[in-house]
Structure 1
């Protein structure tokens, strides 16, 4: 007799599990018919236990456990996938159904009873290996091609997982050449096309190569042997909605269950991945000692204090006729002029969109804030379709509130408002003054909201033989392969983020830009980037990773501990009440509580940060009291473990 935990197939599979008896053995992932209220419904088996081991619990149960009606031959998900979901459910303090909904493609969830999905999920008998590959992108592609040929020779399949649709398409272009049965699956293709490819792959009785996003992790391939996590430092492996899951953990746990080889690959591996060497992970090739050579990054220094300047730099500053704040230094302007003369394509990276991220009063020091949310306004230039004119507007990035820009301080009524920070529109305005005849475009979420608009700019950029300038955020990077000149307007403000991943984020961005740039990468900095991240100067990976791991060990950040962030929006009248409840309930875990503005003026957000050691919370074990508390939180609360940014 078995005790089955199942998820009924209703409008969604995100509900909690129900328990039923089965006299016959049932495999995980099998479709069954169960009695639910006064009718029969289909359900997926997600957990199986022996009824004998649960005898005492069943005797004390306050409800009657019923028998299943029918066992179908259809197996929707593999046992390995469901065991992985069960493991992640405990770690992320959520439900199995919520994990399944977040980690499965919608065309499968919409047709769970489709018999065409039935396929055998075999487990390899060999022992799995964990491998690390730290090489530039072109070298990784070369390694993948060799690896695919070796796998095909022994009739084995490979699954390469990329973080985004654009990366899948890019990788597919390289690996499909001279190889048979190479497939790509991602959200960029239609559901009908995805279903057709999915069925073709699972019924193929030959080795294949699948390149996909993480959602397709449970795709059956003939004799699958190796999983690759490509560009493993990407922030896009985190799911964008609750439950917030790091899909790299999902892939790793799934590979362990399936006994597959797993390769962690990137130009510069994350500290968490680097420490896997201590757990017997092997290096495929010796690590790159230098991520950058000395000539790869040209740093244009923009010092504020005279003490940090050399005599030559000080003379150049005094000779400059323009003493106002500029987004582009004199040296950068000279490089731009040379590139334009040579008819080169130019990309200027700005970390923020808009004209200015913040507006500050120079008289009283206050920041212009939204009356609705209380958060700082950002300054944008928008086009008024009625008047056919451009307008300057203050926009709250959290709520979307938009008002015409005012020129007097909200607090002291002074007229000394100044723009702080560098945005795409500010760089664009300066470029149009300097080089009015050069075609210049902006790529960010405001100016290129649709794929069509974005594609038009990229096509113009590629076809134009003369010099073209693109100013953009990270949204532009997947669409630009080879760029003559890449300039970073500034990265100094990035280091003010509340995140233990700041250095990883900056290094990831620098490596991506460097791999796309033909000339040395130009980085404008006021010494903040160089001081916070010395690898920018010397390119040495070993000192960088040692310093990073020492800091994480000191503060119990991953991989030496875990960070849990709980957020709850409440009315301002109930802030103190909820604050005391959280403070008292989480007292044994020494919580750090703070109050932030909510989405409206009448609401506030309570943020709780817990730093947990591996004995309190890990993939293998979780503190029972904390797990019960997190499970009892209502839907107004969001819970994140090891988030990319704390908030």
Structure 2
């Protein structure tokens, strides 16, 4: 008999490992179905030890071990993936099981559907053994070594570079993995890169049905030819053993960050996995992350083909439209300037198309009382409630929604503080922009692209196709629309640049510049920027394309305040209980690491926050990681979040 320690794979399961009796000594990394409470879940084996070596421990245990049930199918994870999960579990202060749960595709980790045939397992198909097998097939394949390369170029130039990489890799007998942040990016690149090599190209993503996934994995495992594999992050770890190059397309995208525990950054995870597998890693974007530029300047990364892009040459011409006018002694708060309306009319007269960008969702990001000045806030998080228009049963309803906690309620008629009926929206949301836009452009020619109208990839694709299928159209969208705009438009505009820059994120300057450059890239005419603020360096960088100067200034500011990449943010969030018992426990356990603990204003349920800063060279710290792991599961821990307030 053996005692098998198994790490359960599941949401919210923080156990370090569970022990079971078994007749079989399963190897580390084996996927098993294990009984947990009253259900069966997937688990990965950590270790197997003979009962004879653990007699004293078993006698002293105050509980009985359960037996593992007979296993119908046994699969084993590749060793490199296990080592990567171990490394990431230290960095993100999580368990190896939680990390593996985030890395594995749903079909594998849930054990619901078998992707491979009954005679195959994950390790033999995707691990180092498969790598050696592929190298035997291709005798000319050179020994590969890990490099971290940065490719900064517009989309057209990146696509040409990818075609060159694929040709070179195929000649060497190596496969290429191209990781995309969204399905829309993958479909676009697959239509170009896979057009002439469809028999050697695959696209893996969660939108595929089980039959299509099985066919794709069958092609990957049975083909002896090198292949191009385009995949979303979760599918990028299960490709082939002969992969020589991994490319992160649009590496600055927020979609690489997981939205559930342990809140992995898949860019970091893929880089760690590429290093374990000795693969070449290329991170690519029109504006790469400041962290990647830092690595290049510190000689810890190299430029792709030694090409240093100090200035981007993009087709769109940036035009700044000042909106700070005086009209009859009062400020003029028009949403559309005469210049922008004239530009739209000219483009539509030429049967062209226009794209308008709005930074905020809903009608308005804030609702305030005119009489007492009270701002309506979320009772859970304390964040301002945004006003949204929702269609229910063909009827329009207005709701107050918090983007932080998800709290929602129907819009108030009276101020909860003073009882006044004079509640007013403050700020500009995309639905308010839409209401104003259809006063100037026929409703049938306007397409609204936001989180409600494009709630799924299918709906988003249908909206995009309808926009391009008709002439003289205007697409009004948030950042959600940008990955879907692969054909140029005659005019683009940012309706309110001030609203974009006001988003409370320490990465917002980088994100704002990235959006400006993306609009210039997707536009062959003018890119209008309406702003009520004075022109600053950010507008100048976007106008001239001088990204090297931007990085110099941004890195200097981050070094001064010890923001990433010079420091590590460890952000905690929890719900305060009666007597603040949990807050006191957190403060006590983390006292040695000088946490900054603070609360949200005007929150009835009182949410607590904590922030710990650690120099990058000193993370992960064993003592701090152990302390974070002792915190209850109700405490959310995020490493380097995009927002710390």
The TM-score by the shorter chain falls in which range?
0.7 to 0.9
Could you tell me how far 1:100 is from its partner in structure 2?
0.9
Q: Which residue of 2 aligns with 1:485?
A: 491
Q: Return 487-496 or 240-249, whichever deviates more.
A: 487-496
User: Which consecutive residues of structure 2, in runs of 5 or more, have no partner in the other structure?
Assistant: 133-142
Q: Secondary structure at the match of 1:429?
A: helix
1:473 aligns with 2:478: yes
**Distance in 2 separating the partners of 1:374 and 1:42:** 38
Q: Which residue of 2 aligns with 1:92?
A: 92
Among 170, 194, 212, the alignment partner of 1:176 is: 194
Q: Return 530-539 or 416-425, whichever deviates more.
A: 530-539
Among 333, 342, 345, the alignment partner of 1:334 is: 342
Aligned positions of 1:158-557 closer than 5 A: 158-179=176-197, 180-221=199-240, 223-277=242-296, 278-285=298-305, 286-291=307-312, 296-303=317-324, 324-369=332-377, 375-383=383-391, 385=393, 390-397=396-403, 398-404=405-411, 406=413, 409-412=415-418, 417-436=423-442, 439-451=445-457, 453-465=459-471, 467-482=472-487, 483-527=489-533, 530-531=536-537, 534-557=540-563
Could you tell me how far 1:341 is from its partner in structure 2?
1.8
User: Which consecutive residues of structure 1, in runs of 5 or more, have no partner in the other structure?
Assistant: 304-313
Could you tell me how far 1:639 is from its partner in structure 2?
0.4
**Distance in 2 separating the partners of 1:568 and 1:10:** 21
Contact 2:379/2:605 (8 A) holds in 1: no
**Distance in 2 separating the partners of 1:437 and 1:495:** 29
Query: Alpha carbons of 1:457 and 1:587: their partners in 2 closer, same or farther (altered >3 Å)?
Result: same
Q: Which residue of 2 aligns with 1:80?
A: 80
The TM-score, its normalising length taken from structure 1, stands at 0.84
Q: Secondary structure at the match of 1:360?
A: strand
**Distance in 2 separating the partners of 1:586 and 1:340:** 60
1:170-207 deviations in Å (ceiling 9; x for gaps)? 11111102224100001121133113212321222211
1:585 aligns with 2:605: no
**Distance in 1 separating the partners of 2:18 and 2:242:** 34
Could you tell me how far 1:587 is from its partner in structure 2?
2.6
Could you tell me how far 1:597 is from its partner in structure 2?
6.2
Query: Alpha carbons of 1:109 and 1:570: their partners in 2 closer, same or farther (altered >3 Å)?
Result: same
**Distance in 1 separating the partners of 2:468 and 2:41:** 55
Q: Secondary structure at the match of 1:519?
A: strand
Query: Alpha carbons of 1:116 and 1:523: their partners in 2 closer, same or farther (altered >3 Å)?
Result: same
1:326-378 deviations in Å (ceiling 9; x for gaps)? 21122212212222222221111111122211123344333234578754332
Could you tell me how far 1:463 is from its partner in structure 2?
2.0
Could you tell me how far 1:20 is from its partner in structure 2?
8.9
Could you tell me how far 1:405 is from its partner in structure 2?
5.1
**Distance in 2 separating the partners of 1:108 and 1:85:** 16
Could you tell me how far 1:281 is from its partner in structure 2?
2.0
Q: Which residue of 1 aligns with 2:616?
A: 614
Query: Alpha carbons of 1:453 and 1:159: their partners in 2 closer, same or farther (altered >3 Å)?
Result: closer
Contact 1:30/1:73 (8 A) holds in 2: no
The TM-score, its normalising length taken from structure 2, stands at 0.84
Query: Alpha carbons of 1:340 and 1:373: their partners in 2 closer, same or farther (altered >3 Å)?
Result: same
Contact 1:17/1:96 (8 A) holds in 2: no
Q: Secondary structure at the match of 1:192?
A: helix
Query: Alpha carbons of 1:565 and 1:45: their partners in 2 closer, same or farther (altered >3 Å)?
Result: same
Q: Secondary structure at the match of 2:600?
A: strand
Contact 2:11/2:261 (8 A) holds in 1: no
Query: Alpha carbons of 1:239 and 1:48: their partners in 2 closer, same or farther (altered >3 Å)?
Result: farther
**Distance in 1 separating the partners of 2:264 and 2:439:** 45
Contact 1:530/1:536 (8 A) holds in 2: no
Contact 2:383/2:600 (8 A) holds in 1: no
Q: Return 82-91 or 280-289, whichever deviates more.
A: 280-289
1:448-506 deviations in Å (ceiling 9; x for gaps)? 434554444333322223x1112111222222222221111123234334432112222
Query: Alpha carbons of 1:356 and 1:481: their partners in 2 closer, same or farther (altered >3 Å)?
Result: same
Question: How many residues in Structure 1 have an aligned counterpart in Structure 2?
Answer: 614
1:313-333 deviations in Å (ceiling 9; x for gaps)? x6xx55x99964221122212
What is the RMSD computed on CA atoms of the aligned residues?
Answer: 3.8
Contact 1:202/1:222 (8 A) holds in 2: no
**Distance in 2 separating the partners of 1:67 and 1:217:** 34
Query: Alpha carbons of 1:513 and 1:294: their partners in 2 closer, same or farther (altered >3 Å)?
Result: closer
